[in-house]
Structure 1
Amino acid sequence: MSYEKLQGRTAVVTGAASGIGEATARLLAAGGAAVVLVARRAERLAELAAKIEADGGRALAVAADVTDQASVDAAVERVHAAYGTVDLVVNSAGVMLPNPVTDGRTDEWQRMLDTNVAGALRIVRAFAQDLIEAAGEGRTADLVNISSIGAHIAFPHYAVYGATKAALTYLSESLRTEFGPRDVRVTNIEPGFTDTELRGHVDNAELSGLLEGMFDEVGSLASEDVADLIAYAASRPRHVNLRQLIVLPTRQV
């Protein structure tokens, strides 16, 4: 599908070093948007930026850690210096670390809370005024949060991950009450099983095996499938907000 309405827009994509973030950055750039690639892995970002530019797109690699406020602040300065006001923000950075709550893995809990919830909030805070300004000028302005079907469906030993995604889903709903009246659209996307690096974050051999078994039985989305949905939502007429989107492999129930 072609997304000509993305032409001329300026997008920030977190988690752009891999998975949904990388696929989204590629697709937005192909549609004509200038894309800021945000993630911790500078080398991966530089490689992606080079590929996008080789294909005729515009991309800026900005190594930053969404769990660190100073890092986010420095990234914002770089973005504004290079591209000016942003009108599309995709919160795709996330981490999935399942384990039984009784294991007491407070390090994992904190990492998921800092990345999936507080990290998303830091990015919202960083670019909220950009989005409001863009909308006030009559431009299309979008905030897209990548949550998970895990926000609604309980999976054994994914309690903390699911809780962080439920928080992000609620945050998206609540932000619409603040941003919608200012003509800034907020879209929350909840993918089901998706083939990304998150699968490799699981350090529990039993849970990793169970996850792989579910993927084998049900199948999975590709990162590009979710990116396509993001680009579609962002390219609707500015008075149309696709506020809540759930996307699953056909066999996942």
Structure 2
Amino acid sequence: MSYQNLSGRTAVVTGAASGMGEATARLLAAHGARVALLARRGDRLTELTEKIAADGGQALAVQVDVTDRESITQATQHIHRAYGQADLVVNSAGVMLPNPIAEGRDDEWARMIDTNLTGALRIIRAFVPDLIAAAADGRPADLINISSIGAHVTFPNYAVYGATKAALTHLSASLRTELGPSNVRVTNIEPGLTGTELGGHIDNTELSRQLDGMFTAMDALTADDIADLIAYTTSRPARVNLRQVVILPTQQA
């Protein structure tokens, strides 16, 4: 599919080292966007930058930790020096660490909250002025937050993860009331079962086996499916805001 309206845009993608973030960055670049790749793993970003360049695209590797405010400040300055203002921001960085709430794993709770919610807020704070300025110039301006079906479908042992995603979904809805009048589009995407590295963070053997069983039982979404949805959403005419999209495997729907 052709996404002609992406050509010439400047995108910022967090979590770009793998999964949905990587797939999104590659697709946006393939359709003419300049893409700033943000993630903690600098080596993976370098490899992705080289792949995008080999395919004729433009990409900038920016090693950053979304849980570190100063890291984001430096990354934002670097992006502005290299590419100027961003007009498309994708919050894809996230972590999923399920465990029974009774285990009291407050280290995991803090990591999920600081990455999935506060990290997204830090990125939003850094680039919302860019988006408002782009919209004021008459250009499309997009903020994409990748939440999860876990925002409103409950699963045992995923309480804190689900809570962070529910918060991100609600944040997106609230931001539409603030940014919509300035012609900035806010889209919240809630994927169901998707094949990424996210499950690799789980240290609970039983829960890891349960997740593996779900992948065996159904034909899961791929990271490319999510990237395709993001490219479609952000290439609509500026007057069109696909504000909330739930995307599920057919067998999970």
Paired residues for 1:166-185 under 5 Å? 166-185=166-185
Measured in 2, the distance between the counterparts of 1:218 and 1:193 equals 9
Q: Name the counterpart of 1:110.
A: 110
Measured in 2, the distance between the counterparts of 1:181 and 1:220 equals 37
Paired residues for 1:58-137 under 5 Å? 58-137=58-137
Q: Name the counterpart of 1:188.
A: 188
Q: CA deviation at 1:159?
A: 0.3
Measured in 2, the distance between the counterparts of 1:65 and 1:207 equals 27
Amino acid at match of 2:195: D
Amino acid at match of 2:193: F
Q: CA deviation at 1:99?
A: 0.2
TM-score of the superposed pair, with normalisation by structure 1: 0.99
1:65-107 CA-partner distances (Å, limit 9, x unpaired): 0000000000000000000010000000000000000000000
Gaps of 5+ in 2: none
Gaps of 5+ in 1: none
Q: Name the counterpart of 2:154.
A: 154
Measured in 1, the distance between the counterparts of 2:96 and 2:2 equals 32
Paired residues for 1:131-146 under 5 Å? 131-146=131-146
1:227 aligns with 2:232: no
Q: How many residues align?
A: 253
User: Which is further off, 208-217 or 101-110?
Assistant: 208-217
1:168-219 CA-partner distances (Å, limit 9, x unpaired): 0000000000000000000000000000000111110000001111111122
Amino acid at match of 2:32: G
Q: Name the counterpart of 1:206.
A: 206
Amino acid at match of 2:241: N
Q: CA deviation at 1:138?
A: 0.3
Amino acid at match of 1:166: A
TM-score of the superposed pair, with normalisation by structure 2: 0.99
Q: Name the counterpart of 2:53.
A: 53
Give the 3-state SS of the residue equivalent to 1:11 in structure 2: strand
Runs of 4+ in 1 over 2 A off after TM superposition: none
Q: Percent identity, aligned pairs only? A: 69
